[in-house]
Structure 1
Amino acid sequence: MRPLRIFISSVQQEFKEDRLELCRWLKNDPLMRRFFDPFLFEELPAHDRRADQVYLEQVRACDIYIGLFGYDYGFENAKGVSPTEEEYNLASEEHKTRLILIKGNEESKRHPKMKTLITRVGTELIRRRYQSISELISGVYAALIHDLEERKLIRNSPFDAAPCRGATLLDLDEEGITTFLRRAKRGRGFPLPIDATSFELLSHLNLLDEDKPTHAAMLLFGKQPQRFVMSSEVKCAHFHGTEVAKPIPSYQVYKGTLFSLVDQAIDFVMSKINLWVGTREGGAEVPVAYEIPQEVVAEAIVNAIAHRDYDSNGSVQVMLFADRLEIWNPGGLPPSLTLEKLRHPHGSVPRNPLLAEPLYLTKYIERMGTGTGDMIRRCREVGLPELEFSISDGFKTTIWRKSSSTTGQVTGQVTGQVTGQVTGQVDPWIERVLRACELRGELKSIELQEVAGIRHRETFQRNYLDQLLNEELIERTIPEKPKSRLQKYRLSHKGKMLLESLSKNEK
C-alpha cells in the first residue's frame, strides 16, 4: 500500500520549529514512516507557482490534514481569509481526516480571527491543546495510532498506546497524580488544575483507550505498575571489582511508577560513588562534587527507562563497578539513529512518546534530542574518560569512573573490624552521613538525606535511614517516639568505632 499523505498546516513562522520536529519524527519513527508520508512546503524546490496554489493542491492530495493553530492568524487574502483557514475549509469540504492541535493557553494574546476559527473548529471536531513539541508529538502519535486502527491497518496498538488488560481507573494512584500535576504546573506551566481528576489527566495526556487506561498510564500513575507490566522493574547492583561476581555486595530490585524508578535508581548510584568535599575558603558553603555528575547519571537512567522496549521481558539493569557505570535496557536504536549520531545533535525519536511527554513535563527530560550530547560534554568537563554507547542484545551506556589514585577521594575501604561485626567495604554515603553526625551532632532526617545525596524521600527512609538504624550506626534522639516531628539522629557508639576504623585505614 502507498503511505498515507499528511498535510501539516499552520502559520509557518510561528510554528517553524514545531513543523520541522513533527515532520522529522514522522519520517524517522519506525511505525510512522511505515504508514505516513508528511508534506512540508519548506521542503519543496523553488518554482514559479503561487504558494497558495501549491498548498491547496497538497490539501486535496492528502489523506490526513494536521492543523496547528496558535496565536497568529497569518496573512489575509482579498477576502480576509488566511491560508491556514483556507486550508482547513478545503480539508473539510474534501472530507479529509482532520487533526487540530492548539498551542498555548493565553487567549488574550490570540488574534481575534484565530479565536473565531478555533471556536468554529470546536463545534465540528475534537481539538487537542499542547504546550511543547514533545506534547505535540504525543498528541499526534495517539491520534494517528487511532486512525490506523480505524482504517484496520494495524491490529494491535504500540505498547504504550495499547489498553492495559485488567486495569481500571481504580488502579491509579491519586496521590501520585496530584504530585504530578503540581510538578508539571510548576515546572512547565501545565494547563490542568492541581485538582483535575484522573480521567481528565489521562484524557489530556492521551493515556486512555476507549476510557480504559493504557500501559503508559499504568506505568506512570499506577498503584502497582509491576502487577501489570512485571518487566518494568529496575535492577541495580554494585560490585567492588571490575567484573560481575558473587556474592553481590549490594543488589536492589526497584518497583513503582516510572518516576519512582528513576529516582530510586539515581539514588542507588549516587549513594555509592565518590564525593569530593572542598573547604570553606571560597565562602560559607562547602563545595561538593560527585565523581560522575548527577545529571549524567540521571540522563542515562531516564533514557534507559523511557526508551526501552516494553514488549521485551528483560528489565533495565544498572551496574556500578570499580571502574565504570553500566546502564542497559532492552531494545536498540530506531532506524534513523546510529551510535555515531548519538554523539551529535539529532532529532528526537522517542520509542514510547506517551511515556516521554509526562517525563518532560516533570523535567526528568529537559530538551528533546540533546541529552546524549549533554552527557558527553559534562563528562569531558569534569575530566572523565569518553563515555561509550553500544548495542549488545539491547542498548548499553558505559560511563567510566576516574581511577581512585587520581580522585583524592575517600574510597570507603575498611579492612579491620568494628566490634567484630562491621567488616569489608563501607559505601561512601554511609561515611558521609556518619562524618556529618560527628561534626554537627544531631541532624534531622531531611539533613541526613541531603548529606547522603538521595533525592527521593521515601527511598531514603526505606533503604538508607532504616539501614543505619538497623545496623546501630546512628540512633534516634527520641527513641520512645520514632515518628515525632522533633525527631533527630546522632552518632551511636558503634558508629564512632566505625569512623575510628576508617580513619586508621586511611593513614
Structure 2
Amino acid sequence: MTAEKIKEIIRCGETSTVQFKKLFKTAEDVANELVAFSNSNGGQIFIGVDDKTGEILGLDYDQLREIGSLVASAADDRVRPAVFPQVETEPVDGKAVMIVTVKKGPDAPYTNKKGEIYVKQGPDKRRVSDNNEILRIFAESGSFQPDRQSIRGTSIKDLDRYLLDEFFQNSLGRSADNLGIPLETALKNLFILDEEGQATLGGLMFFGINPQRFCPAFNIKAVWFYGNSIGGTEYRSSRDIGGTIPRMFKLGMEFIDGCLLRRQEGQNFNSIGVLEIPEIALTELLQNALVHRSWLKPAPIRILVFDNRVEIVSPGALPPSLTVADIKLGNAFQRNQLIANMCAKTMDYRGLGSGIIRALQTDANIEFQNEASGDQFRVILWRTEQKSKEENPSEKEPDVNSKEKSREKEIVGKEKGKEKILELLKSIPGITSSELQEQTGLSRSGVEKIIRQLKEAGKIRRIGPDKGGHWEVIG
C-alpha cells in the first residue's frame, strides 16, 4: 500500500472496516479487535495514527517490534479459533505506520480467551451477549442451520400425510407407503424429522398440519390501507395468513392480487387484464421473503398495500457479507438451505440467486431497503396506477350495485368457509376453534356460526367434552 493511499484512507476517517490506534499496550486489547473484525466483515487497523484527530504519529523501532509481537501472540494464543492477520509496515511522511489486515473469519463466532464475542458496530466494537445474535453469527458462518433445529413437542403425527404423499410422488414418483424404507427413516434422512422423531423447523413449515400451533410468529400479516400512510386508523382489509410455506405463498399472492388493479393491454373484453405490478416480480419477491427470512427472529412477514405502493417486509436484514448492490447482481447467501431445497422441489423456485434479477427484469419499479438497525429487509413495489382520490370508509356510501356485489361475495365466502372447515374437521378431528380461525382466516364468531350451521344440518357432531373431545364428520 502506498503512502498516498494510506493518507487517503486516513482522511476518510474510521469506519466499520478501518480503525486507527496510537498504540496497543496488551495482547488482550489486540485480541478483542481481531475478534471483532473476524466476526464482522474484516478490515484494517492502522497503528501509529491518532484515532481522534487522524494525525500520523508513527512508531519507532522498539514500538514496531513490541506491537508486532503482541499481534502475533494475540492471534495465536488469545483468539479462538486462531486467526491469521497480515502485518506490514509502511513509511508515511518519514514515519512508520503498521497496518494489520484481518479477513472476515470463515469459522465465526470467534472469541477471546475469556469466551467473549465482539463484533464491529461502525468504527467501534461491542460485546455480543444476546443468544439470538450469537446464533445468527453461527448461521451466517454456516455452522448452524436454523431450519434444521428441532421443534419441541412435535412428532410425525403433526405432519400432513397428504402433503408428504404429494411430495414423494412429485419428487420420486412413488407414494410415502412405497419408499422401500420406513417413512420415519426417510423423513429423518431428509431432515424433515430429527433423530428423536421430532419435526425440524423446515419440515414443520412445509408439511405441518398446523405449523403456527408451535411457531405462532412465523406467519404473514397482510393489511390493505387507505391512502399511503401506515399510521392511518382505517384500512380496507387485513388478514393473518398461516399454514405451510406453500400455502402462505398462495394466500399471500391472492391477497395482493385482490388489492391491485388490472389493466387491459390488448386482451379481449372478457380477459381479466394484467396486474398493474408484474406478477413475476410479486411472485419472486414474496417467495424470496418466505425462503430467506430469518427464522431466528420470531416475527411475521408483513405485506402492506397502500394506494401508491406494495411493501413486503421480511424479518432479518442481509448478512454482513451482502449488500443491496450484491443481490441486484445475483449474488446470494443461502440462509436456509433445507427450506430452499424444499421450495425447489415443491414450488416454482430455482434457488440460484436469480429471483431478484428476474423481478428487476420486469417493468416493475422496485426499491430495496436493508434495515440493519431494525433487523429486517423491505421491498417496495411502486404502483403504476393509483386511486385519484382517497376514499374514507366512514364517508363513502355504497350504491345498490355495490351492496349486491358485496352480498354475493359474502355468500360465496361463507360457502368456501364451510367447505374448508369440513375439510379441516375431517383431517384433524381434534382441531381447536382458534386453530380453525388461523387456518381459514375467519373470525371467532364466523367459525362458531359455521360450526353451528353444520351441526344443525347434521353434517358434523361433537364426540366427548369441549376440551379433550373431537369432531366427527357425518357422511
Whether 2:338 is the aligned partner of 1:357: answer no
- Please name the residue that 1:180 is paired with: 167
CA offset digits 1:445-491 (Å, max 9, x no partner) = 9xxxxxxxxxxxx99x9669xxxxxxxxxxxxxxxx9x9xxxxxxxx
Give the deviation of 1:157 after TM superposition.
Answer: 5.2
- Please name the residue that 2:399 is paired with: 418
Give the deviation of 1:191 after TM superposition.
Answer: 6.2
| Structure 1 counterpart of 2:213, one-letter code | R
- Please name the residue that 2:253 is paired with: 266
The CA distance in 2 between the partners of 1:264 and 1:357, in whole Å, is 21
Whether 2:218 is the aligned partner of 1:237: answer no
Whether 2:370 is the aligned partner of 1:390: answer yes
* Identity in percent: 21
The CA distance in 2 between the partners of 1:400 and 1:355, in whole Å, is 29
- Please name the residue that 1:311 is paired with: 296
- What is the correspondence of 1:248-267 to structure 2 with a 5 Å cutoff? 248-267=235-254
- Please name the residue that 1:56 is paired with: none
| Structure 2 counterpart of 1:220, one-letter code | F
Q: Contact between 1:177 and 1:198, CA under 8 Å: does it hold in 2?
A: no
Q: Contact between 1:224 and 1:256, CA under 8 Å: does it hold in 2?
A: yes
The CA distance in 1 between the partners of 2:218 and 2:385, in whole Å, is 33
- Please name the residue that 1:337 is paired with: 322
- Please name the residue that 1:123 is paired with: none
The CA distance in 2 between the partners of 1:158 and 1:258, in whole Å, is 18
Give the deviation of 1:422 after TM superposition.
Answer: 4.0
Give the deviation of 1:226 after TM superposition.
Answer: 1.0
- Please name the residue that 2:431 is paired with: none
Give the deviation of 1:314 after TM superposition.
Answer: 1.5
SS of alignment partner, residue 380 of structure 2: strand
Cα distance change on mapping 1:405 and 1:170 into 2, 3 Å: closer
More strand by share: 2
Cα distance change on mapping 1:191 and 1:178 into 2, 3 Å: closer
Q: Contact between 1:177 and 1:221, CA under 8 Å: does it hold in 2?
A: yes
Aligned-residue Cα RMSD (Å) equals: 4.4
Cα distance change on mapping 1:405 and 1:230 into 2, 3 Å: closer
Give the deviation of 1:401 after TM superposition.
Answer: 0.6
More helix by share: 1
CA offset digits 1:272-310 (Å, max 9, x no partner) = 1011235666xx984721111222112211221221122
SS of alignment partner, residue 217 of structure 2: helix
Give the deviation of 1:396 after TM superposition.
Answer: 0.7
Structure 2 counterpart of 1:399, from 364, 367, 381: 381
**Aligned pair count?**
286
SS of alignment partner, residue 230 of structure 1: coil
Cα distance change on mapping 1:385 and 1:270 into 2, 3 Å: same
Give the deviation of 1:160 after TM superposition.
Answer: 1.3
CA offset digits 1:41-66 (Å, max 9, x no partner) = xxxxxxxxxxxxxxxxxxxxxxxxxx
SS of alignment partner, residue 184 of structure 2: helix
Give the deviation of 1:239 after TM superposition.
Answer: 0.6
Q: Contact between 2:299 and 2:315, CA under 8 Å: does it hold in 1?
A: yes
CA offset digits 1:130-160 (Å, max 9, x no partner) = xxxxxxxxxxxxxxx9xx9xxxx99x95421
The CA distance in 1 between the partners of 2:82 and 2:337, in whole Å, is 21
SS of alignment partner, residue 240 of structure 2: strand
Give the deviation of 1:219 after TM superposition.
Answer: 1.5
The CA distance in 1 between the partners of 2:365 and 2:265, in whole Å, is 23
- The gaps in structure 1 that reach 5 residues or longer are 5-27, 37-144, 438-443, 446-457, 465-480, 484-507
Q: Contact between 1:174 and 1:198, CA under 8 Å: does it hold in 2?
A: no
Give the deviation of 1:417 after TM superposition.
Answer: 2.8
| Structure 1 counterpart of 2:347, one-letter code | K
Q: Contact between 1:238 and 1:321, CA under 8 Å: does it hold in 2?
A: yes
Give the deviation of 1:405 after TM superposition.
Answer: 7.7
CA offset digits 1:331-387 (Å, max 9, x no partner) = 1112321111111122x3221111111111123422411011111111x3xxx4343
Q: Contact between 1:278 and 1:287, CA under 8 Å: does it hold in 2?
A: no
- The gaps in structure 2 that reach 5 residues or longer are 1-79, 84-102, 111-134, 417-435, 443-456, 460-475
- Please name the residue that 1:290 is paired with: 275
- What is the correspondence of 1:435-446 to structure 2 with a 5 Å cutoff? none
CA offset digits 1:112-131 (Å, max 9, x no partner) = xxxxxxxxxxxxxxxxxxxx
The CA distance in 1 between the partners of 2:298 and 2:267, in whole Å, is 50
The CA distance in 1 between the partners of 2:396 and 2:267, in whole Å, is 31
Cα distance change on mapping 1:367 and 1:219 into 2, 3 Å: closer
SS of alignment partner, residue 221 of structure 2: strand
The CA distance in 1 between the partners of 2:200 and 2:349, in whole Å, is 21
Cα distance change on mapping 1:167 and 1:33 into 2, 3 Å: same
Whether 2:298 is the aligned partner of 1:224: answer no
| Structure 2 counterpart of 1:312, one-letter code | K
CA offset digits 1:141-182 (Å, max 9, x no partner) = xxxx9xx9xxxx99x954211211111111111112223334
- Please name the residue that 1:34 is paired with: 108
| Structure 2 counterpart of 1:34, one-letter code | A
Q: Contact between 2:188 and 2:194, CA under 8 Å: does it hold in 1?
A: no
The CA distance in 1 between the partners of 2:345 and 2:356, in whole Å, is 19
SS of alignment partner, residue 242 of structure 1: coil
| Structure 1 counterpart of 2:207, one-letter code | F
- Please name the residue that 2:92 is paired with: none
The CA distance in 1 between the partners of 2:396 and 2:233, in whole Å, is 19
Q: Contact between 2:212 and 2:242, CA under 8 Å: does it hold in 1?
A: yes
Give the deviation of 1:421 after TM superposition.
Answer: 8.6
Whether 2:320 is the aligned partner of 1:246: answer no
Cα distance change on mapping 1:462 and 1:256 into 2, 3 Å: closer
SS of alignment partner, residue 302 of structure 2: strand
- What is the correspondence of 1:364-383 to structure 2 with a 5 Å cutoff? 364-378=348-362, 380=363
SS of alignment partner, residue 313 of structure 2: strand
The CA distance in 2 between the partners of 1:171 and 1:462, in whole Å, is 18
Task: Mark the structure with the bigger radius of gyration.
Answer: 2
The CA distance in 2 between the partners of 1:325 and 1:217, in whole Å, is 30
SS of alignment partner, residue 232 of structure 1: coil
Give the deviation of 1:319 after TM superposition.
Answer: 0.4
Q: Contact between 2:262 and 2:272, CA under 8 Å: does it hold in 1?
A: no
Q: Contact between 1:239 and 1:320, CA under 8 Å: does it hold in 2?
A: yes
Normalized against structure 2, the TM-score is what?
A: 0.51
- Please name the residue that 2:69 is paired with: none
Cα distance change on mapping 1:179 and 1:277 into 2, 3 Å: farther
Structure 2 counterpart of 1:167, from 154, 166, 181: 154
